[in-house]
Amino acid sequence: MTGTVSDPDALRQRALAALLAARERTSLLTTCVEEPELTAQHSPLMSPLVWDLAHIGNQEELWLLRAVAGRDAMRPEIDGLYDAFEHPRSERPSLPLLAPAEARGYAAEVRGRALDVLQSTPFRGSPLADAGFAFGMIAQHEQQHDETMLITHQLRSGPTALTAPDPEPGPRFTGPSEVLVPGGPFTMGTSTEPWALDNERPAHHRLVPPFFIDTTPVTNADYQRFIADGGYTDQRWWAPAGWDMVRGNELSAPLFWRREGGQWLRRHFGTVEAVPPDEPVLHVSWYEADAYARWAGRRLPSEEEWEKAARHDPASDRSMRYPWGDTDPTPERANLGQRHLRPAPAGSYPAGESPLGVRQLIGDVWEWTSSDFLPYPGFSAFPYREYSDVFFGGDYKVLRGGAFSVDEVACRGTFRNWDHPVRRQIFSGFRTARDAGPAETA
């Protein structure tokens, strides 16, 4: 299905499938542990899992039942409890939250009514209803919280019942380490993707000078060389705030890593394993990614460079939805949707590479860019300021491309994620870039 599909019946079926897939994943993430694990706070950076569960239902009620269908509030007294801006995550365990059974019942009742609304709502006549935007927005919202809950499972100290097969091993990648992206204009963002969120809009032209970008994300083996060369003890490579972070927290490796018996180990969803050398590095902050890039004599790509590498087709001189074209992701093209619980080895998914040969731009790991999270020219907040507008500025850095933890409904070539540059609990990695000299582009 392409991003410009306008058939209401096809969009309705797409919305139904997206909502059902999100709820199936939510159920998996909240039934694989005992009740005390649902109500506990496993990190001050994260909500209790039971808060996410009821918040998902509350947002669905607010937007699909109240805003789209015009129905009265089911439980107005809980709106404040599940308003993400009213209570920071660190305070949420002390709130009178719905117990797990009550939260499940509430979310299920909302969902039953929402599916009735989906079948009866014409996909036209208002910005929320047009092309089923509100239903797509809610499916994306739930999947984003599913990713947040998966992060919480990784932060939990105990074992987990979550399981998934590892990615299928493929031939070891032996291609070029970097790819030249020619300079010139390209179309960034979108004005046609029906469920694109406000910060992806509108489409606009950007002029990008030629540059080189890594063919694959930086691997654990690559990053271990940075560590072995004293990367965490050499101030030269670090932004001042990053150096303060390293010293203040005594950091010496990515989150969850430890050195033992002459090898690097990591904790991965409740088990300890040797750090896989060929996988893209995970759980690094923007400051760590930036320091590695400086150490390597390179830099992080800007957001527009990343998107041009991921979407621009030089042959047709147009921007595509994904690196491989306009069709939706498939398991052969990208590691998405919690189908696996880890990234695939660097260089995997040749069917998903860009026209220039860049791999794994979609899925596997979120990729830090050098860019601050800022609005595009002509940006308009929709349907509420708190999704994007309140986050614009220099406090957040942009991540692109999604990860193994991201569902395809919330992952596009235009999709923008953002976080504080100190964050390490997210499924974040990176690739590097460098300027192209005149002789290299001749």
- Give the separation between CA 216 and CA 222, rounded to whole angstroms: 11
Q: Sorting pLDDT into bands at 50, 70 and 90, what band is 157?
A: confident
Q: Can you give the pLDDT at residue 6?
A: 66
Residue 397 main-chain phi, psi, to 5 deg: -110, 150
| DSSP class per residue in 21-32 | HHHHHHHHHHHS
In this predicted structure, the answer to whether residue 111 has a pLDDT above a threshold of 70 is yes
Q: pLDDT, tens digit, for every residue of 122-150?
A: 999 999 999 999 999 999 999 999 999 99
pLDDT over 90, % of the chain: 95
Mean pLDDT across the stretch 389-418? 97
Q: Can you give the pLDDT at residue 2?
A: 52
> HSE (CB half, 13 Å, CA atoms) of 433?
25
**pTM > 0.85:** yes
- Give the separation between CA 322 and CA 312, rounded to whole angstroms: 9
**Secondary structure string (H, E, C) spanning 275-329:** CCCCCECCCCCHHHHHHHHHHCCCECCCHHHHHHHHHEECCCCEECCECCECCCC
Q: Can you give the pLDDT at residue 1?
A: 46
Q: Sorting pLDDT into bands at 50, 70 and 90, what band is 394?
A: confident
pLDDT over 70, % of the chain: 99
Asked whether the beta carbons of 281 and 222 are under 8 A apart, the reply is: yes
Amino acid at 334: A
- Give the separation between CA 442 and CA 440, rounded to whole angstroms: 6
Residue scoring higher pLDDT (293 or 169): 293
- Tell me if residue 241 falls in helix, strand or coil: helix
User: What domains sit in the chain, N to C, each tagged with a CATH number?
Assistant: 8-155 (1.20.120.450), 164-442 (3.90.1580.10)
In this predicted structure, the answer to whether residue 203 has a pLDDT above a threshold of 60 is yes
Closest CA to 355 of 179, 171, 187: 179
CA 193 to chain centre: 18
* C-alpha to C-alpha distances, 273 to 24, 45, 124, 263, 268, nearest whole angstrom: 29, 25, 52, 10, 7
Q: Can you give the pLDDT at residue 171?
A: 87
State how beta strands 318-319 and 417-419 pair.
unpaired
* C-alpha to C-alpha distances, 156 to 37, 118, 278, 415, 425, nearest whole angstrom: 9, 36, 25, 28, 11
Q: pLDDT, tens digit, for every residue of 144-153?
A: 999 999 999 9
Mean pLDDT across the stretch 342-355? 98
Q: pLDDT, tens digit, for every residue of 207-219?
A: 999 999 999 999 9
Burial of 169 (0-12, 13-18, 19+ CB in 10 A): exposed
- Give the separation between CA 310 and CA 214, rounded to whole angstroms: 12
Q: Can you give the pLDDT at residue 169?
A: 86
Q: Sorting pLDDT into bands at 50, 70 and 90, what band is 5?
A: low
Q: Which residue has the tokens 């939805």?
A: 321
Q: Sorting pLDDT into bands at 50, 70 and 90, what band is 61?
A: very high
Q: Sorting pLDDT into bands at 50, 70 and 90, what band is 170?
A: confident
Q: Can you give the pLDDT at residue 426?
A: 98
β-partners of residue 228 are none
Q: pLDDT, tens digit, for every residue of 354-376?
A: 999 999 999 999 999 999 999 99
Amino acid at 218: V
Residue 73 CB neighbours (<10 A): 13
Q: Can you give the pLDDT at residue 160?
A: 79
CA angle, 362 then 367 then 371, to 5°: 120
Q: Which tokens in the block code for residue 12?
A: 């309705």
Look at 111-115, 194-198, 251-255, 435-439 and tell me which has the smallest mean pLDDT: 435-439
Q: pLDDT, tens digit, for every residue of 213-236?
A: 999 999 999 999 999 999 999 999
Q: Can you give the pLDDT at residue 3?
A: 47
- Give the separation between CA 404 and CA 341, rounded to whole angstroms: 7
Sign of CA dihedral 167, 363, 217, 315: positive
> HSE (CB half, 13 Å, CA atoms) of 97?
28
- Tell me if residue 54 falls in helix, strand or coil: helix
What is the average pLDDT value for the chain, to the nearest integer?
Answer: 96
Burial of 172 (0-12, 13-18, 19+ CB in 10 A): exposed
Asked whether the beta carbons of 221 and 159 are under 8 A apart, the reply is: no
Closest CA to 1 of 406, 322, 414, 306: 322
In this predicted structure, the answer to whether residue 86 has a pLDDT above a threshold of 80 is yes
Closest CA to 194 of 60, 321, 376: 321
Q: Which residue has the tokens 């020619």?
A: 182
Q: Which residue has the tokens 């509420």?
A: 384
